[in-house]
Structure 1
Amino acid sequence: MLTPEQEAVVRAIRKLVDFWQITADELDMGPQPARAPAPPPPAPTGPKYRHPLTQQTWDGQGLQPSWLKDALTREGYTVEELRVLPDAHA
């Protein structure tokens, strides 16, 4: 399945081929290289933020959880106070 951008490119190419009356034989581009597989998603790295009292955590992916928003806006914590420090043993 093509992305919308790819579909637009294909339409533009077809218009050019029709305009210039290019035949399929003239488009022979030889064997096509195989596409490289998509890289695997990154492995989870653990929590990046932790509430010091409730111990709730967030890995920094997706929407901010409500506990983090509350800690920053209502409880007066700073981002640095909630950030999980890298393990010194790693």
Structure 2
Amino acid sequence: MKLSTRIKPISYLKAHAAEVLKTLEEERNPLIITQNGEGKAVIQDLRSYEETQETLALLKILALGNKQIDESRVQPASVVIDRLRKMRDDG
């Protein structure tokens, strides 16, 4: 997907809103909106947005895990599993 083909002025969005929304949902490619020749916004379909947010959340979790590894803040899985089982049995 070439982003250069996905750039439209805000006037296009105003005049073709329903068509833009239909195309976003069908093609699942973002659209860059300009105002006075400058990029101002990126719009995308809801499903793509949700997928992006889920991906970002997973990346944050991975980054946190890597940070904990770097700081030697890790425990063997067997220790953690035993602790969780004990919490379950005590609760």
- Which is helix-richer, 1 or 2? 2
Provide the TM-score with structure 2 as the length reference: 0.20
Tell which structure's C-alpha radius of gyration is larger.
1
Q: TM-score of the superposition, structure 1-length normalised?
A: 0.20
